[in-house]
Structure 1
C-alpha cells in the first residue's frame, strides 16, 4: 500500500474518510484497469495501457483527495470490473460530476447493452438540441468507464468518435456487447 505525505502527517492533520480514495490497478482484456472507491462506493474505473498514467489521471480527476493504493481492499472490485467487461452492470458514486454531467450519465446508463445513441440524439433527449458538444464534454469527464457507458455514444452518422480510453477500446467494447 502506498502512503501519501498527507497520511504520514501528525494525527491532527490526518484527513477524514471523505478525503480519501482507495485504488488498485489490474489487467483486463482491454488493457490495464484502475478501480477507485470512496467512502460511498466506486468513484472511478479508468482504462489505459500504463499504470503510472492511470494513477496520474486519477489524481487529476480528484484534486485535493488523498489517494491510497490498496490492492487487498479493491481485489473484489477489480474482479467485478473484469466480469463487467464480459457482462455489464454496477452500483456507482456519481457525486463527482456537475448536474449536467450527471444527467448525461443517467441517460447513458439507460441505453441497453449493445445499443448506441448519437451525441445529438442524447442532447435532444435532455432538451438541449444544440448541446451535442456539451454531451461530448460530459462523456469525456466520465471517470467510471464501463459503469457509465460513454462508449455507446457515436456520431450522428453512426461512426465511432473519440473515446477517453481510445477508439479501439470503444470498438472492442461495442463488438463485445453486440455478441451478448
Structure 2
C-alpha cells in the first residue's frame, strides 16, 4: 500500500466533504432565530415599546437574549426555541373590559405577577400566551412548548420590573 497515494485520496476528497458540511449546516436548524410579526401600534404606544426595549433583561428564565427576525424595538426574544415578547399588540379578543363584564372563557385566565396583571391563554398548539392588562400598552409574551405551565411564573417575574418601569398603568389604546 502506498501511504502517499492514500493521503492524496483523502486530501482530494476534502473539498467535497467541506462542501457537504456547509450544505448540511445551511439546512440545519442550528440558527433557531424565530420570525415574528412586528406589531404596528400608534406613535404613543410605539414610544412606550421603545422605552421597554431599552430596559428589557438580558436573560429571562435563564435564557440569553435571542431577538427574532425582523429585528425591531417592538419585539424581543430569549433562548431557543425562543420566548417571544411583542409590544404594542392589539387587545386580545378574550380580554374582557373589566368595566363591562367578567370573562367566562376557561382558556383565558387572569392574574398578577410582581405588580403586573396578565391574561393567560393556552394556544391550540400547546404554547402559552400572556398579555399585560391595565397598562398603557399591551405587551404579549409567548412561551414555547418546552416551557412548562408552572415555570411560566419565572418568565413573568423576570419581565415584571422592565414592564413596570417602561409601561405605565392605564388603559391601552385599541386603535
> Would you tell me which structure has more helix in proportion to its own residues?
1
Larger radius of gyration: 2
